[in-house]
Amino acid sequence: MANGSRQAAWEFFGAELKRRREDAGFTQVELGTRVFVSGGYIGQFEQAIRKPQLDVARRIDESLQTDGFFERLWRKLIKEQPYAEYFAHAAELERLATNICEWAPAVVPGLLQTPEYARSIYFASNPLTTDEYVDEMVALRIARAQLLKDATRPVYWVLLHEAVLRVPVGSASVMALQLDHIAQAARSRKALVQVLPFSAGAHPQMGKILRLLEFEDAPPTVYTEAVLSGNLLDDPAVVKRVRADYDLLRAAALSLDASLTMIEAAAEDFRRCAGTT
Protein backbone atom coordinates (compact mmCIF):
# COMPACT_ATOMS: atom_id res chain seq x y z
CA MET A 1 0.00 0.00 0.00
CA ALA A 2 1.01 3.61 -0.39
CA ASN A 3 2.02 5.13 2.93
CA GLY A 4 -1.07 7.35 3.21
CA SER A 5 -3.57 4.55 2.59
CA ARG A 6 -1.67 2.17 4.87
CA GLN A 7 -1.70 4.72 7.69
CA ALA A 8 -5.42 5.33 7.20
CA ALA A 9 -6.07 1.58 7.47
CA TRP A 10 -4.06 1.35 10.70
CA GLU A 11 -5.90 4.35 12.13
CA PHE A 12 -9.29 2.81 11.34
CA PHE A 13 -8.23 -0.48 12.94
CA GLY A 14 -7.00 1.42 16.01
CA ALA A 15 -10.14 3.52 16.36
CA GLU A 16 -12.37 0.45 16.13
CA LEU A 17 -10.19 -1.42 18.60
CA LYS A 18 -10.37 1.42 21.14
CA ARG A 19 -14.14 1.80 20.76
CA ARG A 20 -14.90 -1.89 21.10
CA ARG A 21 -12.40 -2.39 23.93
CA GLU A 22 -14.01 0.42 25.93
CA ASP A 23 -17.51 -0.90 25.15
CA ALA A 24 -16.39 -4.26 26.58
CA GLY A 25 -15.11 -2.52 29.71
CA PHE A 26 -11.44 -3.51 29.33
CA THR A 27 -8.39 -1.38 29.96
CA GLN A 28 -5.49 -1.66 27.52
CA VAL A 29 -3.60 -3.77 30.06
CA GLU A 30 -6.56 -6.09 30.61
CA LEU A 31 -7.05 -6.67 26.87
CA GLY A 32 -3.31 -7.07 26.39
CA THR A 33 -3.24 -9.80 29.02
CA ARG A 34 -6.03 -11.65 27.22
CA VAL A 35 -4.31 -11.52 23.81
CA PHE A 36 -0.77 -12.15 25.19
CA VAL A 37 0.71 -8.71 24.48
CA SER A 38 1.43 -5.76 26.73
CA GLY A 39 -1.02 -2.97 27.40
CA GLY A 40 1.42 -0.62 25.73
CA TYR A 41 1.26 -2.78 22.62
CA ILE A 42 -2.52 -2.40 22.53
CA GLY A 43 -2.05 1.34 22.92
CA GLN A 44 0.30 1.40 19.94
CA PHE A 45 -2.31 -0.41 17.84
CA GLU A 46 -4.95 2.11 18.90
CA GLN A 47 -2.69 5.05 18.05
CA ALA A 48 -1.78 3.53 14.67
CA ILE A 49 1.89 3.43 15.65
CA ARG A 50 2.33 -0.29 15.11
CA LYS A 51 0.92 -2.52 12.38
CA PRO A 52 -1.47 -5.16 13.80
CA GLN A 53 -0.64 -8.82 13.15
CA LEU A 54 -3.12 -11.44 12.01
CA ASP A 55 -2.72 -13.69 15.05
CA VAL A 56 -3.29 -10.74 17.40
CA ALA A 57 -6.35 -9.66 15.39
CA ARG A 58 -7.78 -13.17 15.82
CA ARG A 59 -7.18 -13.15 19.59
CA ILE A 60 -8.77 -9.70 19.85
CA ASP A 61 -11.85 -11.09 18.11
CA GLU A 62 -11.98 -13.95 20.62
CA SER A 63 -11.52 -11.66 23.62
CA LEU A 64 -13.98 -8.98 22.51
CA GLN A 65 -16.37 -11.51 20.90
CA THR A 66 -16.43 -9.50 17.67
CA ASP A 67 -17.22 -12.46 15.40
CA GLY A 68 -14.11 -12.20 13.21
CA PHE A 69 -14.42 -8.44 12.64
CA PHE A 70 -10.77 -7.61 13.27
CA GLU A 71 -9.49 -10.56 11.25
CA ARG A 72 -11.64 -9.49 8.30
CA LEU A 73 -10.47 -5.89 8.73
CA TRP A 74 -6.84 -7.04 8.74
CA ARG A 75 -7.29 -9.14 5.60
CA LYS A 76 -9.16 -6.40 3.77
CA LEU A 77 -7.18 -3.29 4.70
CA ILE A 78 -3.88 -4.16 6.32
CA LYS A 79 -2.53 -7.34 4.73
CA GLU A 80 0.42 -6.46 2.53
CA GLN A 81 -0.46 -6.52 -1.15
CA PRO A 82 1.96 -8.10 -3.67
CA TYR A 83 2.00 -4.88 -5.69
CA ALA A 84 2.19 -1.22 -4.80
CA GLU A 85 -1.31 0.15 -4.28
CA TYR A 86 -1.10 2.41 -7.33
CA PHE A 87 -0.39 -0.60 -9.55
CA ALA A 88 -2.50 -3.31 -7.90
CA HIS A 89 -5.72 -2.50 -9.79
CA ALA A 90 -3.85 -2.19 -13.08
CA ALA A 91 -2.30 -5.62 -12.51
CA GLU A 92 -5.76 -7.08 -11.97
CA LEU A 93 -7.13 -5.45 -15.14
CA GLU A 94 -4.09 -6.74 -17.03
CA ARG A 95 -5.28 -10.31 -16.42
CA LEU A 96 -8.76 -9.49 -17.74
CA ALA A 97 -7.71 -7.63 -20.87
CA THR A 98 -8.17 -9.00 -24.37
CA ASN A 99 -5.75 -6.43 -25.86
CA ILE A 100 -2.83 -4.64 -24.26
CA CYS A 101 -1.00 -1.89 -26.13
CA GLU A 102 2.08 -0.63 -24.32
CA TRP A 103 4.52 2.23 -24.91
CA ALA A 104 7.90 2.01 -23.16
CA PRO A 105 10.21 5.03 -23.61
CA ALA A 106 13.04 3.98 -21.30
CA VAL A 107 12.68 0.55 -19.66
CA VAL A 108 11.63 -2.89 -20.89
CA PRO A 109 7.98 -3.42 -19.83
CA GLY A 110 7.47 -5.74 -16.87
CA LEU A 111 5.71 -8.40 -18.95
CA LEU A 112 8.85 -8.80 -21.09
CA GLN A 113 11.56 -8.52 -18.43
CA THR A 114 13.96 -11.34 -17.65
CA PRO A 115 14.77 -12.08 -13.98
CA GLU A 116 18.30 -10.73 -14.42
CA TYR A 117 17.10 -7.46 -15.97
CA ALA A 118 14.39 -7.02 -13.32
CA ARG A 119 16.93 -7.66 -10.56
CA SER A 120 19.22 -4.98 -11.99
CA ILE A 121 16.32 -2.50 -12.06
CA TYR A 122 15.44 -3.17 -8.42
CA PHE A 123 19.02 -2.86 -7.20
CA ALA A 124 19.45 0.39 -9.14
CA SER A 125 16.41 1.81 -7.33
CA ASN A 126 17.24 0.24 -3.94
CA PRO A 127 21.04 -0.16 -3.68
CA LEU A 128 20.93 -0.95 0.05
CA THR A 129 18.06 -3.45 -0.09
CA THR A 130 18.39 -7.14 0.74
CA ASP A 131 18.72 -10.00 -1.73
CA GLU A 132 15.61 -11.57 -0.19
CA TYR A 133 13.48 -8.51 -0.91
CA VAL A 134 14.71 -8.23 -4.49
CA ASP A 135 14.17 -11.96 -5.07
CA GLU A 136 10.57 -11.57 -3.88
CA MET A 137 9.92 -8.57 -6.11
CA VAL A 138 11.50 -10.25 -9.12
CA ALA A 139 9.42 -13.39 -8.59
CA LEU A 140 6.24 -11.28 -8.58
CA ARG A 141 7.24 -9.52 -11.78
CA ILE A 142 8.14 -12.75 -13.59
CA ALA A 143 4.89 -14.35 -12.42
CA ARG A 144 3.00 -11.59 -14.25
CA ALA A 145 4.65 -12.70 -17.50
CA GLN A 146 2.81 -16.03 -17.25
CA LEU A 147 -0.05 -14.04 -18.76
CA LEU A 148 1.67 -14.21 -22.17
CA LYS A 149 2.01 -18.01 -21.97
CA ASP A 150 -1.65 -18.74 -21.30
CA ALA A 151 -3.82 -20.11 -24.08
CA THR A 152 -6.21 -17.19 -23.55
CA ARG A 153 -3.42 -14.60 -23.56
CA PRO A 154 -4.29 -11.10 -24.72
CA VAL A 155 -3.05 -9.56 -27.95
CA TYR A 156 0.06 -7.77 -26.70
CA TRP A 157 1.45 -4.94 -28.82
CA VAL A 158 4.58 -3.20 -27.51
CA LEU A 159 6.30 -0.09 -28.76
CA LEU A 160 9.85 0.35 -27.45
CA HIS A 161 11.90 3.47 -27.90
CA GLU A 162 15.38 2.64 -29.22
CA ALA A 163 16.76 3.92 -25.90
CA VAL A 164 15.35 0.77 -24.28
CA LEU A 165 17.69 -1.28 -26.48
CA ARG A 166 20.76 0.87 -26.02
CA VAL A 167 20.88 1.93 -22.36
CA PRO A 168 22.65 -0.88 -20.46
CA VAL A 169 20.77 -2.23 -17.47
CA GLY A 170 23.00 -4.60 -15.55
CA SER A 171 25.92 -6.16 -17.38
CA ALA A 172 26.32 -6.55 -21.14
CA SER A 173 25.38 -10.22 -20.83
CA VAL A 174 22.19 -9.28 -18.92
CA MET A 175 21.23 -6.93 -21.75
CA ALA A 176 22.01 -9.52 -24.41
CA LEU A 177 19.77 -12.07 -22.68
CA GLN A 178 17.03 -9.48 -22.20
CA LEU A 179 17.00 -8.48 -25.86
CA ASP A 180 17.12 -12.14 -26.91
CA HIS A 181 14.05 -12.68 -24.74
CA ILE A 182 12.17 -9.85 -26.44
CA ALA A 183 13.16 -11.15 -29.86
CA GLN A 184 11.97 -14.63 -28.92
CA ALA A 185 8.60 -13.25 -27.77
CA ALA A 186 8.26 -11.57 -31.17
CA ARG A 187 9.36 -14.61 -33.16
CA SER A 188 7.01 -16.93 -31.24
CA ARG A 189 4.13 -14.47 -31.82
CA LYS A 190 3.52 -13.91 -28.12
CA ALA A 191 3.96 -10.18 -28.69
CA LEU A 192 3.95 -7.69 -31.52
CA VAL A 193 7.06 -5.59 -30.97
CA GLN A 194 8.02 -2.39 -32.75
CA VAL A 195 10.90 -0.02 -32.11
CA LEU A 196 10.70 3.75 -32.41
CA PRO A 197 14.22 4.70 -33.58
CA PHE A 198 16.19 7.72 -32.43
CA SER A 199 15.85 9.05 -35.96
CA ALA A 200 12.07 9.44 -35.48
CA GLY A 201 12.75 12.56 -33.43
CA ALA A 202 9.91 14.19 -31.50
CA HIS A 203 6.84 12.08 -30.92
CA PRO A 204 3.66 11.91 -28.82
CA GLN A 205 3.98 10.84 -25.19
CA MET A 206 7.66 11.74 -24.94
CA GLY A 207 9.04 10.37 -21.69
CA LYS A 208 5.67 9.00 -20.55
CA ILE A 209 4.88 5.32 -20.26
CA LEU A 210 1.35 4.23 -21.05
CA ARG A 211 -0.69 1.09 -21.36
CA LEU A 212 -4.00 0.85 -23.20
CA LEU A 213 -6.17 -2.05 -21.98
CA GLU A 214 -9.19 -3.31 -23.91
CA PHE A 215 -11.75 -5.80 -22.63
CA GLU A 216 -14.41 -8.14 -23.95
CA ASP A 217 -17.31 -6.59 -22.05
CA ALA A 218 -16.05 -3.33 -20.53
CA PRO A 219 -14.86 0.05 -21.82
CA PRO A 220 -11.14 0.44 -22.53
CA THR A 221 -8.86 1.89 -19.88
CA VAL A 222 -5.53 3.70 -19.98
CA TYR A 223 -2.87 3.22 -17.32
CA THR A 224 -0.11 5.81 -16.94
CA GLU A 225 2.67 5.87 -14.37
CA ALA A 226 4.89 8.50 -12.78
CA VAL A 227 7.14 8.56 -9.72
CA LEU A 228 5.60 6.14 -7.19
CA SER A 229 2.16 6.82 -8.60
CA GLY A 230 -0.13 5.53 -11.29
CA ASN A 231 -3.43 6.52 -12.84
CA LEU A 232 -6.21 4.51 -14.42
CA LEU A 233 -8.10 6.70 -16.89
CA ASP A 234 -11.38 5.58 -18.43
CA ASP A 235 -12.89 8.85 -19.61
CA PRO A 236 -13.86 8.13 -23.25
CA ALA A 237 -12.34 11.39 -24.53
CA VAL A 238 -9.03 10.67 -22.76
CA VAL A 239 -8.92 7.09 -24.02
CA LYS A 240 -9.63 8.29 -27.55
CA ARG A 241 -6.77 10.79 -27.35
CA VAL A 242 -4.35 8.19 -26.01
CA ARG A 243 -5.35 5.72 -28.72
CA ALA A 244 -4.67 8.41 -31.35
CA ASP A 245 -1.24 9.09 -29.82
CA TYR A 246 -0.48 5.38 -29.80
CA ASP A 247 -1.44 5.12 -33.46
CA LEU A 248 0.95 7.98 -34.26
CA LEU A 249 3.73 6.22 -32.38
CA ARG A 250 3.00 2.98 -34.19
CA ALA A 251 3.07 4.76 -37.56
CA ALA A 252 6.45 6.35 -36.77
CA ALA A 253 7.99 3.11 -35.54
CA LEU A 254 9.92 0.60 -37.60
CA SER A 255 8.02 -2.31 -39.11
CA LEU A 256 7.76 -5.53 -37.15
CA ASP A 257 10.50 -7.16 -39.24
CA ALA A 258 12.83 -4.16 -39.12
CA SER A 259 12.25 -3.85 -35.39
CA LEU A 260 13.17 -7.49 -34.83
CA THR A 261 16.34 -6.98 -36.87
CA MET A 262 17.32 -3.98 -34.72
CA ILE A 263 16.61 -5.86 -31.48
CA GLU A 264 18.70 -8.83 -32.57
CA ALA A 265 21.54 -6.57 -33.74
CA ALA A 266 21.54 -4.74 -30.40
CA ALA A 267 21.63 -8.09 -28.57
CA GLU A 268 24.63 -9.13 -30.65
CA ASP A 269 26.39 -5.84 -29.85
CA PHE A 270 25.97 -6.49 -26.14
CA ARG A 271 27.09 -10.08 -26.57
CA ARG A 272 30.31 -8.88 -28.19
CA CYS A 273 30.86 -6.43 -25.34
CA ALA A 274 30.35 -9.23 -22.82
CA GLY A 275 32.92 -11.33 -24.65
CA THR A 276 35.57 -8.66 -24.41
CA THR A 277 35.24 -8.02 -20.67
Mean pLDDT on 46-57: 82
What share of the chain has pLDDT > 70, as a percent? 93
Which ranges of 188-255 would DSSP assign to H, the alpha helix?
Answer: 236-252
Q: Which of 17-26, 60-69, 88-97, 116-125 has the lowest mean pLDDT?
A: 88-97
Three-class HEC string of 85-151: HHHHHHHHHHHHCCEEEEEECCCCCHHHCCHHHHHHHHHHHCCCCCHHHHHHHHHHHHHHHHHHHCC
Q: What pLDDT band is residue 199 in, cutting at 50, 70 and 90?
A: very high
C-beta separation of 145 from 114 below 8 A: no
Residue 1's pLDDT is 47
Residue 205's pLDDT is 75
Residue 4 in this model has a pLDDT that exceeds 60? no
For 85-275, CATH number out of 3.30.1330.60, 3.60.150.10, 3.30.870.10, 3.30.110.30 equals 3.30.870.10
**Per-residue model confidence as pLDDT tens digits over 87-124:** 777 887 888 899 999 999 999 999 999 999 999 998 98
Residue 2 in this model has a pLDDT that exceeds 50? no
Q: How many CA atoms lie within 13 A of 185 on its CB side?
A: 29
Q: How many CA atoms lie within 13 A of 231 on its CB side?
A: 11
Quote the CA–CA distance of 265 and 107 in Å, as a whole number: 18
Most distant CA pair in the chain: distance in Å? Answer: 74
Domain segments of the chain as ranges: 3-78, 85-275
CATH homologous superfamily of domain 3-78?
lambda repressor-like DNA-binding domains (1.10.260.40)
**Per-residue model confidence as pLDDT tens digits over 246-273:** 999 999 999 999 999 999 999 999 999 9
